[in-house]
A and B are shown apart, each in its own frame.
Chain A
């Protein structure tokens, strides 16, 4: 029986390893301006769509009981992604299936919305390794564009207009005057939930509110699901996009209480700007699977006690001590996995507030730096590390 299981397991691993990594996307150059481009623009007919797989984020579990039950067996999602550029701007379109249209009506305490985000690597002197997929890492910033589906809503604190901050019932006026008041409030309504963040790691995320990023996001729902578009400048204070542009895509589903980490995300994906010199090494890294032997890697992971702290496969017990690895293959690059094995403190995701799980500290603060409590595995030989990385790359949920 055990042997049979091993055979099935090895077949399973072989089968999932055979699944290609996400392909590179070729961004078509257009002569028209991409300023304000939306999903219905005819320019998109020039774009070449590629299919990416977005996996459920499960590195850390949040404390929402209902949401956790809904995402317990979350699956990977397919998304069609394409890009255009015009020399000044880059536009990205993401199309994904979503049967329920969840739009924020701003009326309830426990309703969540559909949305999508595009993450760009911030400009740094060293392009590699890429920032940590979840909101970047120290010294490796990211810029994240978030678009959510929101109904027209009046956000009264936005423009310090005190006279319209009271409720209509408390205006003391009726009839025509009240209708005028309603119209004034509606005219001040914000209709778009679009935000840009800069981050150097989970928890450090800060919204850009000084208009130093020029971008425009939009979402349209059709019979096939959502089409989201995002256009932003190729170059600003935060990014300098040329040649190969690494991006990561995330989508949220309101019907499973998606928000923040409760989402599906891709690993880094290379967008090659057509006609420009692409970063061959990075493209190769992002489009080919790890070469190691996954089955040997699984054995090595066991002998080295990885499951002492990590939940490795979905069937393993959960742990607060270390990130769950059950979908790690879906959204991590091989380079990141290798780095985390050899230099555990290179990227320490703040994860939980340490107050939340005081007895399982997965990092200590030493001189203001986060130092991982994980053993340094740099003593392992290269082949074993390759094998473990190959195994970790197989860890991902089924795809819808």
Chain B
């Protein structure tokens, strides 16, 4: 466990599945160097197969006894999807025997292949919602526990989970160990890579790219121990933000406001069934655990209170009138950490293994 823990809260009532977060992350980090297929941030439709395909069934995480569970490493073509490109070159150069625009491979799968399909019967009771996912920067990370080389570490200063690319040898046990399948193998450099919670931005007091760009303003970022932070209030004070699949035992630090607002069902005549809701609460319980019932109660009560009295701190928080109201980060904190450790404040906070403990001639870089 780290000294402090950064957390993100995502309000699923507000997510519109626009993928702006996905694009922000992709253009910032994963559009090059063997990361093309990776989505450190993705938004999937729930219910659905998710990304990678059926990730919830691929093992990893811990059982009740605290033993790391074996898992399966997804296949790039079948489970993640090949990032295909189009035949721009041959079309532009006039070399193509056809003038059709087509992908360079015949894709069989990709992220959001089953987007918006959801479940239920249209139009009576079909339903779905969007589930944005990044690395959960867990308190007890499955990836970290699975690594036989100690190449994965959790930063003391803020709990960000990172791969030390110098130590990583590409064994991929981390991928099997992560129940969220949010750590990826880079085949070009034969090392594992993952969401870094945009730590270079965080250290400058800026939110991660996905949170900064979110048009629905669904993402709150801050330190869990900071009582003034939005994340502290949502997670600990009001207890309306819950971890995803906490039953995997990794203690995730990305929290979700469950989607409470879904339309009513139609009856056989196409009339609204008053008081019904399309989203089965059992589905929410599966994702967010039994605490989801209390969270829904609190959210409904606060909505009612706000309607009746016009006052609700929780609703104000969730509305997020100002973009800046969603983040409480602290550049000075990181500057102080750097000063305390006599390090350059612009360098990454964690510099373990750079000297190469077991090599003799003054470090191996």
Contacts and interface: CB of A to CB of B under 8 A. Distances in A.
B67 interface: yes
A109 B71 CA distance: 14
B92 interface: yes
A238 B361 CA distance: 10
A31 interface: no
Interface stretch (B155-163, B182-190, B308-316, B327-335): B182-190
Interface string A95-118: 000000000101111110000000
A356 B184 CA distance: 20
B225 interface: no
A65 B169 contact: no
B216 interface: no
B205 interface: no
A209 B363 CA distance: 8
Interface in B49-73: 59-60, 65-73
Given A107-B76, A109-B74, A260-B148, A210 B173 contact: no
Contact of A320 (B67, B171, B173): B67
A259 to B, nearest CB: 5
Nearest to B166: A207
Contacts of B43: none
Contacts of A238: 360
B358 A141 contact: yes
A357 B80 contact: no
A203 B148 contact: yes
A178 interface: yes
B75 A65 contact: no
Given A65-B70, A359-B65, A209 B146 contact: no
A358 interface: yes
A238 B364 CA distance: 14
A165 interface: yes
Nearest to A355: B145
Contacts of B31: 167, 170
B364 A259 contact: no
Interface stretch (B32-40, B110-118, B265-273, B287-295): B32-40
B189 A65 contact: no
A353 interface: yes
B358 A157 contact: no
Contact of B188 (A153, A193, A204): A153
Contacts, number: 169
Contacts of A260: 148-149, 169, 171, 173
Interface string B6-43: 00000000000000000000000001111011000000
A2 interface: no
Interface string A137-165: 00001000000000001111100000001
B146 to A, nearest CB: 5
Interface of B is mostly: loop
Contacts of B188: 106, 153-156
Interface stretch (A46-54, A72-80, A194-202, A265-273): A194-202
Given A355-B144, A357-B68, A206 B73 contact: no
Interface in A313-363: 320, 352-353, 355-360
B356 interface: yes
A64 B71 contact: yes
Contact of A109 (B73, B357, B360, B362): B73
Contact of B359 (A62, A208, A355): A208
Given A174-B93, A198-B358, A353-B145, A109 B150 contact: no
B76 A157 contact: no
A128 interface: no
A41 interface: no
B274 interface: no
A1 interface: no
B36 A353 contact: no
Contacts of B36: 167
Contact of A64 (B66, B80, B172, B189): B172
Contact of A210 (B166, B176, B353, B364): B364
B52 to A, nearest CB: 9
A134 to B, nearest CB: 10
A212 B364 CA distance: 9
A367 interface: no
Given A206-B353, A207-B166, A110 B88 contact: no
Nearest to B65: A359
A68 B72 CA distance: 10
B77 interface: yes
Contacts of A111: 187
Given A170-B31, A260-B169, A65 B176 contact: yes
Interface string B61-105: 000011111111111110010000100110011000000000000
Given A64-B176, A198-B359, A353-B147, A157 B70 contact: no
Contacts of A193: 190
B3 interface: no
A63 interface: yes
B140 interface: yes
B359 A357 contact: no
A202 B149 CA distance: 8
Interface in A223-279: 237-238, 259-261
B140 A108 contact: no
A205 interface: yes
B357 A206 contact: yes
Given A110-B74, A155-B188, A165 B32 contact: yes
A65 B72 contact: yes
9 contacts: A64-B176, A107-B187, A156-B188, A206-B356, A237-B360, A260-B148, A357-B66, A357-B67, A359-B65
The 9 closest A-B pairs by CB, nearest first: A209-B364, A356-B68, A356-B145, A206-B358, A355-B145, A65-B70, A198-B358, A358-B66, A109-B76
Given A63-B68, A109-B187, 11 more contacts: A62-B148, A64-B172, A108-B75, A108-B187, A109-B76, A110-B74, A193-B190, A206-B358, A206-B359, A210-B362, A357-B66
